Structure formats: structure tokens, C-alpha cells
Copies of this chain bind each other. A is one copy, B any other.
Amino acid sequence: MTRVVQKYGGTSVASPARLRRVARRVRDAAAGAQVVVVVSAMGETTDELIALAHSVSTDPPSREMDMLLSSGEIITAPLLAMALEAAGTRAVSLTGPQAGIRTSRAHRTARIVDIVPQRVLDELDAGKVVVVAGFQGATEELDITTLGRGGSDTSAVALAVAVRAQRCEIFTDVSGVHTADPRLLPEARVIPVITYEEMLELAAAGARVIHPRAVEIGEAYGMEIRVRSTFDEHPGTTIRSVANANMEERQKVRGIAHETDVAKVTLLGVPDSPGVAASIFGPLADEHIAVDIVVQNVSHAGTTDVSFTVPESDLRRAQQMLDGVAKQVRASGFSATADIAKVSVVGTGLRGTPSVFAQIFRALAEAGINIQMISSSEIHVTCIIDRARVRDAVRALHAAFELESI
């Protein structure tokens, strides 16, 4: 019998009416397969719980925060099981620990160490849909942990691997992985098939539809992932290894991603000597500030300018450190701006295709968009541009690679 894992995010289960809708979808799937469902907390529940914690403590211990946050999914899971039973489908809900999800002890950012799925398998064999609370697990000591960002996606793909499911379906509020953000560009299309690697690049470049951690597990274990909408019947996007895709029909450029939570810092007049980079980026790393793109121009008269991007949400913390850093590396000063955005072209083998670079630069130039910084890899080209021009840049690149007609 086919076995599938389905994951429904917070928007999909935000109200009793939506839970009943999800129950109908699950019931239909369960007519022809064994189904494990992984659920997130309803709507804004997690944010509300975090606010509650901060109302009793300025610095809540992570262990206690995890126990508190786990309640969100412990509410959704039995509610969906009840809705399934009401729809005539036998169902049972399990907490993450009950489902055998064992994690590291890193509270709030725990990693799945192992899954012992015996209880899940027993319930499936008893003919039930198993609804598992996502985003949570337990340490060896049975302390409750949460998996951090993308936690429920990660629970779902890891469970799919553990129960040897045929595929893992991630249900969300969009119809699949798009060639660009459909809220920005209405003509963006759903990509039917994409490789794990391409999906990881798209996610890293700003696409939010599935978390990279989940894609990495899918890639490591060869688990097929399907991203689709709770609210329509579109077949969505299948994420799988390249070997399975139709190689003849594949395009080099798969999608355009963008990211606006980004800021640029430039250290001016830095003496161009060994160890300078370590002096700059070591302190930032110690503060867990994620530096993304780094550009260093050729040196003039023994000094150079070093520019890099950080999440805009970390800019204030970064600036607090940069006075000291600038002094230490004997820079003449630094500048910072949050008025920028990243726009990325993602595909396979871009470096082997110089014309792609030419097409990108031409498209942006014709749209009158200045490129402030560039970074590229085998499968992405990212340009830093003026934030006000993001929509224009995405549209220009989407059109240049004819993504509206895939």
C-alpha cells in the first residue's frame, strides 16, 4: 500500500473551518494510502506564546520556552484527529516525542537525531491516519525540544524517511514553488519539477515556500517532496534528484528569487594586509550575525574597501560592533544602508553558460537598474540592487528567461 506523509502549515490549520477542510483532503488521500499528517500550530499561536513568555520573563530559559511552544502543535494535532473522525476517518494524534522523534539537546534549535517510528507504524497498520505534532521532539532525557525555523517541514520529511513513505507532501498557501514570488509577479508560474539542489538555492536566495533543512534531508535520503496548496487542486512542484527529471525539457534557469531582509555595510580604506578579513568577520560570526555576500575591490595605494551584506534585522547589532572592528583593522570608517535588496537567478550549470550572465546584466541595464554587488556560484547569480527596484528587476529577469511560458 502507498504510504505518504502530508504536512499542513499554520495558515492551513488557522481556524476550525480550515481544519475541517484539511480533514476532507486527508480523508480523500487516506482512501488509497496510509497517511501520516504533520501539523503546525494554528495561525499565529506560536507568536502569541512567545509574547506570553516575554510577559513573565525578559529572558525565558530555552528549555522552558520549548515546553511552552510545544503546546501549539499539541492543540492542532488532536483537533485534526477529531475533525478526521467526524469526517468518518479513523485517526489518532501523537506528540513529537510519542511519534519517536529524538533530538539533540539544543533547545529551540534542536536537530533530529533519530526517529523510532514503531508507534506510528502500529497505528498505520491498525488502519488509522496518524496526526503528528510537528516542530517538536524529545531528548534522551525526555525533555521536550523544538526544531527551530522550518521545524514542521523538517519533521515531515524526516518522518517520511523513517516510515519509508513514497513521498512527502508539503501543503501550504501557494500552489507550489514559483518561478518568482507570485505576490510580486502575478505572471510567475509553478515549476513542475525541480532538483533538491536548485530548490536549496532558491530557498537560500529568499524563496520561503519550504525550509532548506527539509530539502537537505530529502536530498540526503532521496525522499521525493511535493509542494502544493491546501486551497486548490494544482499538482504543485515535485522536488527530486535530477536523475528523475526529464532532462531534455529542463531549462537552465529555473526561477528568480528575491530577499529584502538585507543590508549592506562597507568598511572604507582598509589596509590590504593578511588577517584583515578574519579581524572583520570573526567578531560578527561570534555574535551569530550571518554575513552573506562579501565583495572586496582591488587595492589602491595599499588600502581597499570591503563590502558585505547582513540580514537587515541584524544591522543594528552589526553597527554596534563595527566601530571597534573599524578601529582594529585601521579602516578610515564605515557606511551602512538598508536600502537594498537581493535578486537571484537560480538554475543549473550557470557558470558553464556565460550567456546567462550577459542576459542578466542586459535585462537589468535595459530596465535602468544599477547593480551594486554581484555574487555567483554554479547554480545562482545574485545581484544587490536598490530596494525600490525589486519588483522591476524580478519582472525584467523573469521575462528575459521566458519563465512565464514554462
Q: Which residue of B lies closest to A77 (CB)?
A: B67
A190 close to chain B: CB less than 8 A: no
Given contacts A64-B78, A67-B77, contact A55 B16 (CB under 8 A): yes
Report chain B residues within 8 Å CB of A79. Answer: 52-53, 56, 64, 68
Stretch at the interface among A30-38, A92-100, A235-243: A92-100
Complex CA–CA separation, A53 to B79 (angstroms): 6
Max chain B C-beta neighbours (<10 A), residue from A49, A56, A68, A77: A56
Provide the residues of chain B in CB contact with A60, threshold 8 Å.
82, 85-86
Complex Cα distance A49/B144, Å? Answer: 22
Find chain B residues with CB under 8 A from A95 CB: 67, 144
Shortest C-beta distance, A291 to chain B (Å), equals 32
Residues in B with CB closer than 8 Å to A52 are 16, 75, 79
The answer to whether A75 touches B71, judged by C-beta atoms less than 8 angstroms apart, is yes
Closest to A60 in B: B82
- Contacting residues of chain A (40-63) with chain B, CB-CB under 8 angstroms: 49, 52-53, 55-61, 63
- A376 CB to nearest B CB, Å: 46
Which residues from chain B contact A56 at a C-beta distance below 8 Å?
A: 16, 19-20, 23, 79-80, 82-83, 86
The closest CB in chain B to the CB of A83 belongs to B56
Q: Are A64 and B86 in contact (CB under 8 A)?
A: no
Q: Tell me whether B81 and A61 are in contact (CB under 8 A).
A: yes
Report yes or no: B93 in contact with A75, Cβ–Cβ below 8 A. Answer: no
- Does residue A103 face the partner (Cβ distance < 8 Å to B)? no
Residue A74 is within 8 A (CB to CB) of chain B in the complex: yes
CB of A142 closer than 8 Å to a CB of B: yes
Instruction: Determine if B57 and A86 form an interchain contact, defined as CB atoms under 8 angstroms apart.
Output: yes
A74 contacts across to B, CB distance below 8 A: 67-68, 70-71, 74
Tell me the minimal C-beta distance from A137 to chain B in angstroms: 14
A82 touching B98 by the CB < 8 A rule? no
Say if the beta carbon of A65 comes within 8 Å of chain B: yes
Across the two chains, which residue of chain B brings its CB closest to A15?
B55
Which of B65, B83, B143 lies in contact with A57, CB distance below 8 A?
B83
A57 proximity list for chain B (CB < 8 A): 82-83, 85-86
A82 to B82, CA, bound (A): 32
Residue of B nearest to A90 (CB): B61
B82 and A78 within 8 A (CB) = no
Q: Using CB atoms and an 8 Å cutoff, list the residues of chain A in contact with chain B.
A: 16, 19-20, 23, 49, 52-53, 55-61, 63-65, 67-68, 70-71, 74-75, 77-83, 85-86, 91-93, 95, 98, 142-144
Known interface pairs A56-B82, A64-B92, A67-B77; 17 further A-B residue pairs with C-beta atoms within 8 A, sorted by A's residue number: A16-B56, A20-B56, A23-B56, A52-B75, A53-B78, A53-B79, A56-B79, A56-B80, A60-B82, A60-B86, A61-B85, A68-B82, A70-B74, A71-B74, A71-B75, A74-B74, A95-B144
Q: Which 3 pairs show the lowest CB-CB distances between chains A and B?
A: A16-B55, A64-B78, A57-B86
